[in-house]
């Protein structure tokens, strides 16, 4: 091969151009297999990346499904725990609702209803329920619904709650139902 190179260098004129062309032609097919190998490597790499992408997409889809299933299970478990805590109050309410008529006294039944209400409210408050609507408290339109207004006797009583018609409830900061209240409004009339 070194001899051919020397031969090319020694030849001058049109013969040298022909020889160089032949050398180029012989080198050109040598690069074609390199390009084919490079294309095969690129295709293999592309196929590997495609396979990794599909696996990652499948893993993410499985993760999404598993997370949704776990959320449903957690929600069901929490609801079950809440209901289990309410069963005692339900039993107490059944005893009050179905008293022995021969021994039942109206005051005892009313006291029993009050006890059941307090017990039930305590159980609900223990899981995050908050009761809204306090007489003489300030009126907040974000928490209360003014159903009726009455005249306030003093300017200090302006926009305060005179009576709670229906309690409102908030659960972990989320308003479930506004309290329906009677609101005092100061009109500025002095009767003195």
Dihedral of the CA atoms 110, 114, 119, 121 (nearest 10)? 140
Rounded mean pLDDT, 166-180: 95
Full residue range of the structural domain in which residue 27 is found: 1-127
158 and 78 together in one domain: no
| Alpha-carbon gap, residue 163 to 181, rounded angstroms | 6
119 and 135 together in one domain: no
Which of 112, 127, 142 is a domain's end point? 127
Q: So what's the pLDDT on residue 93?
A: 85
Q: What is the pLDDT of residues 50-95, one digit of tens each?
A: 999 999 999 999 999 999 999 999 999 988 988 888 888 888 888 8
121 and 47 together in one domain: yes
Query: Residue 117 is encoded by which pair of tokens?
Result: 């209400």
Task: Give me the CATH number covering residue 144.
Answer: 2.30.22.10
37 and 90 together in one domain: yes
146 and 180 together in one domain: yes
1 and 41 together in one domain: yes
The residues pairing with 148 across neighbouring beta strands, listed in sequence order, are: 182
Which position has the higher pLDDT, 106 or 47? 47
Question: What is the dihedral sign for C-alpha 12, 13, 19, 23?
Answer: positive
Q: Does residue 101 register a pLDDT over 90?
A: no
How many domains does the chain fold into? 2
59 and 122 together in one domain: yes
Which position has the higher pLDDT, 116 or 191? 116
**Residue closest to 135 by CA, chosen among 176, 174, 170, 167:** 167
58 and 113 together in one domain: yes
Q: Does residue 177 register a pLDDT over 90?
A: yes
Q: Does residue 26 register a pLDDT over 80?
A: no
85 and 139 together in one domain: no
């Amino acid at each position: 091969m070194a001899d051919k190179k020397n031969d090319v260098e020694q030849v001058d004129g049109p013969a040298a151009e022909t020889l160089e062309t032949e050398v180029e032609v012989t080198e050109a097919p040598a690069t074609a297999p390199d390009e084919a190998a490079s294309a095969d490597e690129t295709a293999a790499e592309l196929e590997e990346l495609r396979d990794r992408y599909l696996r990652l997409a499948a893993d993410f889809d499985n993760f999404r499904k598993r997370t949704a299933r776990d959320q449903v299970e957690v929600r069901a478990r929490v609801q079950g725990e809440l209901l289990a805590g309410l069963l005692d109050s339900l039993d107490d309410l059944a005893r009050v609702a179905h008293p022995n008529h021969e021994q039942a006294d109206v005051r005892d039944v009313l006291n029993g209803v009050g006890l059941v209400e307090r017990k039930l409210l305590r159980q609900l408050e223990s899981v995050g329920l908050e009761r809204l609507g306090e007489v003489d408290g300030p009126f907040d339109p974000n928490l209360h619904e003014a159903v009726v207004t009455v005249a306030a006797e003093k300017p200090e009583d302006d926009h305060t709650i005179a009576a709670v018609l229906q309690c409102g409830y908030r659960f972990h900061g989320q308003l479930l139902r506004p309290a329906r209240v009677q609101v005092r409004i100061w009109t500025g009339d002095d009767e003195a």
